[in-house]
A and B are shown apart, each in its own frame.
Chain A
Amino acid sequence: MNSLNDLILETNFTTYDFFIVIFYLAVTLVVGIYAKNKIKIIDDFIVAGRKIGTGLGIASMAGTEMGLITIMYSAQKGFVGGFAAFHIALIAFFVTLFVGISGFIIYPLRKTNVMTIPEYYEIRYGKNVRILGAIILSIGGILNMGLFLKVGSMFILGILGFSPSGLMLPIIMTTLLVLALIYTILGGMFSVIITDYIQFVLMSFVILFTTYFSIQYLGWQNIWDTVYIEMGEGGFNPFLDGEFGIEYFFWMIITAGLVSCAIWPTAIARALAMEKAEDVKTQYKWSSITFLIRFLIPYFWGICAFVYFNNNIELGNLFFKEVNGEKLNNLYALPIYLSKVIPVGFIGLLTAGMIAAFMSTHDSYLLCWSSVITQDIISPLRKKELSDFNRIKIVRIIIVIIGLYVLYWGLIYNGSEDVWDYMAITGAIYFSGAISVLIGGLYWSKASQKGAILSLLGGMFAIFGLGPVQDAFNISISGTRIGLLTIILSMVLLVLGSLLFPDENSKGTKNEF
C-alpha cells in the first residue's frame, strides 16, 4: 500500500500552480468587495437580480450550478456508469428546454413577483404553509449540502497529491470552511452576480482545456474501446438494469430534469431575479445547454478517469482491487487522474476554478438556507418585526452554525450511496412535497391549505431512502423507488387533502395568468 501511496503523491501541481490559485482567489475577492462598495442599488441580492439581462442571467445560473460538488458527483457517476450516464445530461437538457419553451412553473411563478418559494406558499396557501414549507426546505436543503465540504476537500486533497488517509482531509475541510465563511461574509450577496460571471468564463475555459488534454492523453478511440471492454453494453445503454435502468430514468426526469431547473431554490432564485417574466423563458432555453454541459463534461472526465486507471494496472489497483477488505473511495478517481494528466500551469487554473466554484456554491447555498430560516421561519413566528440589523445578525449566526454542521456531517456520515444519489434523496425531502404544492398552487384552483400541508409532510418520507436510515429501520428498498413513491404519495395527499378539506375562500391563482 505504501508504493500505491507514493504513486498518489506524484502530481503535476507545482508552486507556479499554487500562485495561480492564490492570485485568482485574491482577484475574485477584490472584485467582489469592489462590487459591494460601488453598486449601492444592490441593497438586496434579489432586487439587484431584477436588474440583470439574459446574458448575465445565464452566466449567473451557470456559475452557480456548475459547482465543484456537481463536477465531483457527476464524475463519480461517469466513473461507475460509463457513457450510459450521459442520459442524465440529455434529460436535464430536454426538460430545461421544455420548461423554457412552455414556461412551466417558472413563468407563472415569476409573474406573482414573489422573491422566494415560501413567500409564494404564503400568498397562495397562507402563513402556516409558508412556515412549514420553509422548515422542510431547510431540513432537506441543509442535509443536501451536508457532503459538499467533504467532497470539495477530497478534490483538493487528490489534486495536491496528499494521502487520503490521515489528518489532511479534516485539515483541508476546516481551511475550506473558514475560506467559504470569510468569502460569504466579505463578498456576500452583493457581489454574487459579478463573481458568478467571472466564474462562468473561467469554468468554461477549464472545461474546454481539460476535455482537450484528456482526449489527447488517452486517445479518443481508446476511451470508447476501454469502456466497451470493461463495462460491456451496460457502459452505454442506460435502460439495462445495473447502475441505471428504467426506474432510474424516470427518477432522473424528476430530479436532474424538473427539480434541478424549476423547483430547486437556488435555480428558482435566478429565474425570479430576471427583469421581465418573458426573459425567464429565454433564460431557460439558453440555460438548457449549460444544464446539459454541467453534467455531460464531468461524466466524460469520470469516464476518462475510469479508462486511465484501467490502462494503468498499478494505480488501477487503488480503485478496483480490495486491500485489507477496502477499496479507495472512487470520488478520489477524478482529482488523482487530473493531477497526473493536466500539465503545469493549466492544473493551477483548473484548481483555482474549482475552488472558486466551491466558494460560489457554498456562498449561494449558505445564504439561501440562512435567509430562508431567518425570513420564512424566525421572522413570521415573532410577534414583533425584526429590524434589518437583527435580521443580518441572525443570518450571519445561522451561516456559521450551518458551516459547523457541514463540517461535522462530512466527518461522521458513512452512507454507501453515490453522492448524486445522496443528494437526490435528501433533496427529495423538500422537493417531493414542493412539486405537488407548487404545481397544484399554480395550475389547480382547488388546491387547499390542508392539502398543501399534508403534501409537504408526505414529502418527508423521502428520508427513508438514505442508507443509514434504512439500516436503522432494517429496510432495504432502493433510494430511487422510495423517491418516486414519495412524490406519488405527496401528489395523492395534495389532491385528497384539497378535496376533503377545501379552503373556505379559495385563493386559486390559476385564473390570474
Chain B
Amino acid sequence: MNFNIIELEILLRKMTVLFWISLWKFVFIVSIIIFVLLFIYISVKGFLELKSLLKNEIAVK
C-alpha cells in the first residue's frame, strides 16, 4: 500500500464529503420522522385544548 500525499488528500476530501452527505441524510430522515410524530401529538393535544378552551370560556359567559 503506497500512498503519496496527493492520494491522501483526495481520500481525505472524499471522506469529508462522505461525512457531510451522511450527516445531512441522517438529519433529514430523523427530522421527518420526529416531525410526523410531533404533528400527530400536537394536532390531537392542541385540538383537545382548543375544545376545552372554547367550552370553558363559553360556559363562563
Residues of A within 8 A of B (CB): 35, 38-42, 51-56, 58-59, 62, 83-84, 86, 89-90, 193-194, 197, 200-201, 204, 207-208, 211, 224, 228, 233, 236-237, 286, 289-290, 292-293, 296, 300
Interface contact B53-A52, CB-CB below 8 Å: yes
Interface contact A41-B46, CB-CB below 8 Å: no
Contact of B11 with A by CB under 8 A: no
Interface contact A296-B28, CB-CB below 8 Å: yes
| Chain A interface mostly | helix
Interface contact A286-B38, CB-CB below 8 Å: yes
Contact of B27 with A by CB under 8 A: yes
Residues of A within 8 A of B39 (CB): 201, 204, 208
Interface contact B21-A55, CB-CB below 8 Å: no
**Taking each of B20, B27, B42, B48, which has the highest tally of chain A beta carbons within 10 Å of its own beta carbon?**
B42
Interface contact B36-A208, CB-CB below 8 Å: yes
With A41-B57, A237-B20 as known contacts, state yes or no: A289 contacts B34, CB within 8 Å: yes
Interface contact B32-A211, CB-CB below 8 Å: yes
Residues of B within 8 A of A233 (CB): 13, 16-17, 20
Report how far A193 CA is from B54 CA in the complex, Å.
11
Number of A-B contacts (CB under 8 A): 97
Give 1 or 0 for each of B13-30: 1 = CB within 8 Å of chain A CB.
100110011001101100
With A38-B58, A296-B27 as known contacts, state yes or no: A53 contacts B49, CB within 8 Å: yes
Interface contact B24-A83, CB-CB below 8 Å: yes
A selection of 14 A-B contacts at a CB cut-off of 8 Å is A38-B54, A40-B61, A51-B57, A56-B46, A86-B24, A86-B28, A89-B31, A208-B32, A208-B39, A233-B13, A233-B17, A286-B42, A289-B38, A293-B31
- B24 CB to closest chain A CB (Å) equals 5
Interface contact B58-A59, CB-CB below 8 Å: no
Residue from A52, A58, A194, A292 within 8 A of B31 (CB atoms): A292
Not counting A86-B24, A237-B16, A286-B42, a sample of 11 additional A-B residue pairs whose C-beta atoms are within 8 angstroms of each other reads A39-B58, A55-B48, A59-B46, A83-B20, A83-B21, A233-B13, A236-B17, A236-B21, A289-B38, A296-B27, A296-B31
The residue of chain A having its C-beta at the shortest distance from the C-beta of B30 within the complex is A292
The residue of chain B having its C-beta at the shortest distance from the C-beta of A83 within the complex is B24
- B6 CB to closest chain A CB (Å) equals 17
Interface contact A201-B43, CB-CB below 8 Å: yes
Interface contact A56-B16, CB-CB below 8 Å: no
Interface contact B16-A200, CB-CB below 8 Å: no
- B43 CB to closest chain A CB (Å) equals 5
Report how far A201 CA is from B48 CA in the complex, Å.
14
- B28 CB to closest chain A CB (Å) equals 7
Contact of B60 with A by CB under 8 A: yes
Enumerate the 10 nearest inter-chain pairs by beta-carbon distance, A residue then B residue, closest first.
Answer: A55-B45, A236-B20, A55-B46, A204-B39, A59-B46, A83-B24, A53-B49, A55-B49, A41-B57, A56-B49
The residue of chain A having its C-beta at the shortest distance from the C-beta of B61 within the complex is A40
Interface contact A41-B21, CB-CB below 8 Å: no
Residue from B35, B45, B53, B57 within 8 A of A289 (CB atoms): B35
The residue of chain A having its C-beta at the shortest distance from the C-beta of B20 within the complex is A236
Interface contact B38-A197, CB-CB below 8 Å: no
Residue from A40, A201, A300 within 8 A of B28 (CB atoms): A300
Residue from A40, A54, A286, A300 within 8 A of B57 (CB atoms): A40
Residues of B within 8 A of A35 (CB): 54
Report how far A58 CA is from B46 CA in the complex, Å.
8
With A52-B49, A56-B53 as known contacts, state yes or no: A237 contacts B58, CB within 8 Å: no
Report how far A51 CA is from B21 CA in the complex, Å.
44
- B2 CB to closest chain A CB (Å) equals 26
Residues of B within 8 A of A236 (CB): 17, 20-21, 24
Report how far A201 CA is from B50 CA in the complex, Å.
13
Report how far A39 CA is from B24 CA in the complex, Å.
45
- A396 CB to closest chain B CB (Å) equals 25
Report how far A42 CA is from B61 CA in the complex, Å.
12
Residues of A within 8 A of B25 (CB): 224
Residue from A56, A86, A207, A208 within 8 A of B27 (CB atoms): A86
Report how far A200 CA is from B40 CA in the complex, Å.
11
The residue of chain B having its C-beta at the shortest distance from the C-beta of A55 within the complex is B45
Residues of B within 8 A of A41 (CB): 57, 60
